[in-house]
Amino acid sequence: MDKNEYLQLVLSGQSLGEDSAELKELQTQRANVEKLIRERFGSVPIIRYGGSRAKGTLVKEYYDLDIVCYLPCDSDTAGENLQEIYGNVRDCFKKGYIVEEKTSALRLKGNAADNYMRDFHIDVVPGRFSDENNSDCFIYQKAAEKCRLKTNLDVHIQYIKDSGVVDAIRLLKVWKARKGLRIKQFAFELLIIELLDGLKTKSLSDQLMHIWEEVSGSVDPIHVEDPANPSGNDLAEIMKAAWPLLRAEATNTLNTIKWSGWEVVFGAMPAAKSASIADRAQRASASVSTPNKPWCPKS
């Protein structure tokens, strides 16, 4: 098996089938989110879906669903301004979820005893369309320099889908997740597309090597532009904050591939799975030489 066949196998191992538990739960939560929005604001908000599934970049190890909840430009159903809309949409989830307030999105987590703080991988993004075309939209930016940001979900989705480098994006998402790199996913995807401009026909391994070489070799952050708002959404700060670690890990990865090969980066391909994960965990537990019991300070 050559390195590109190997990378394709890694990718297929990262797919989530339609009947997978993860996607089923995502669908259940999606229905619940929509129900809560409709209960509170009726049929006025326009609900659309984005995130990795819509963009075709979903990987098992790092997936999410973006649910945008946009109000028509002339509606004050959810509030008169963006901050009010953000706050009121947040409040409508409070009885069903723990809501983590991100810059523009609301991250939903479990609030029941048995799923407290479990992440449902759902971001709800409240906003208001900028005109009657229901295309461009303004979203609130909490604790940011500019309190509103113009964006366009359809442009974002299409830009990624049409990039021709979705496989490279998916593999680099796995890499980013495993390294615990804290860079906004959208900015990271734009960086990949920018660096692979003109290299769509290259093999997957060549594309990845090119990305890591470019990042590793660039002392300063590489400039990327938001296709939905090239002049108004400055991603420079995001790139600047993430760059040192991104660069260091790109350099490490190049060294790893040079000295140890691709399998150290993305893992060995498992032999045909004859045993379930639980059975394997049971067997692994039996061979632990120094077991210990977990504890918890509170009941």
Partner 1 sequence: MVPKKLRVAWHERNAPLLEAAKADVAAYYPDLHIVIECRVVCVRGSFPVMDEAGVLDRFLIEITLPFDYPESIPILREVGGRIPWHADRHVNRANGEACPIVPEEWLLRSDHGSFLAFLNGPVRNFFLGQILVESGQPWPFGEREHGIPGLIEAYGEVLGTSDEPTVLRYLECLSRETVKGHWECPCGSAKHLRNCHLEEVKSLRKKISPRVAQQALLRIRELSAQELRNAVRR
Give the span between the Cα atoms of 124 and 94, in whole angstroms.
13
CB of 106 to partner 1, least distance (A): 14
Of the two residues 231 and 259, which places its CB atom closer to partner 1 in the complex? 259
CB of 181 to partner 1, least distance (A): 8
CB of 244 to partner 1, least distance (A): 9
| Residue 44 engages partner 1 in binding (rule: CB under 8 A) | no
Of the two residues 113 and 143, which places its CB atom closer to partner 1 in the complex? 113
Bridge partners, residue 68, by sequence: 48, 125
Residue 186: half-sphere exposure toward Cβ, Cα within 13 Å: 20
| Residue 1 engages partner 1 in binding (rule: CB under 8 A) | no
Residue whose tokens read 């495993």: 178
Q: Which of residues 107-146 bind partner 1 (CB under 8 A)?
A: 109-110, 113-121
Q: Which of residues 81-110 bind partner 1 (CB under 8 A)?
A: 109-110
| Residue 296 engages partner 1 in binding (rule: CB under 8 A) | yes
| Alpha helices for 180-267 (secondary structure H) | 185-195, 204-217, 236-260, 263-266
Of the two residues 117 and 219, which places its CB atom closer to partner 1 in the complex? 117
Contact letters for partner 1, residues 175-214 (x by CB under 8 A): --xxxx----------------------------------
Of the two residues 5 and 22, which places its CB atom closer to partner 1 in the complex? 22
Of the two residues 155 and 177, which places its CB atom closer to partner 1 in the complex? 177
| Residue 290 engages partner 1 in binding (rule: CB under 8 A) | yes
Collect all residues with Cβ–Cβ distance below 8 Å to 8 and sequence separation of at least 6: 167, 204
CB of 212 to partner 1, least distance (A): 14
Q: Which of residues 151-180 bind partner 1 (CB under 8 A)?
A: 177-180
Collect all residues with Cβ–Cβ distance below 8 Å to 264 and sequence separation of at least 6: 256, 257
Give the span between the Cα atoms of 147 and 139, in whole angstroms.
8
Question: Are 226 and 190 a contacting pair, CB within 8 Å?
Answer: yes
Of the two residues 17 and 270, which places its CB atom closer to partner 1 in the complex? 270
Give the span between the Cα atoms of 232 and 141, in whole angstroms.
13
Break the chain down into helix, strand, coil percent, rounded to 5. Answer: 45, 15, 40
| Structure token pair of residue 49 | 């879906």
| Residue 236 engages partner 1 in binding (rule: CB under 8 A) | no
Give the span between the Cα atoms of 277 and 285, in whole angstroms.
12
| The residue type at 104 | S
Report the first-to-last Cα separation within the chain, whole angstroms: 52
Q: Could you list the residues that contact partner 1 (CB under 8 A)?
A: 61, 109-110, 113-121, 177-180, 245, 248-249, 252, 256, 264-265, 267-268, 270-271, 276-278, 280-286, 288, 290-299
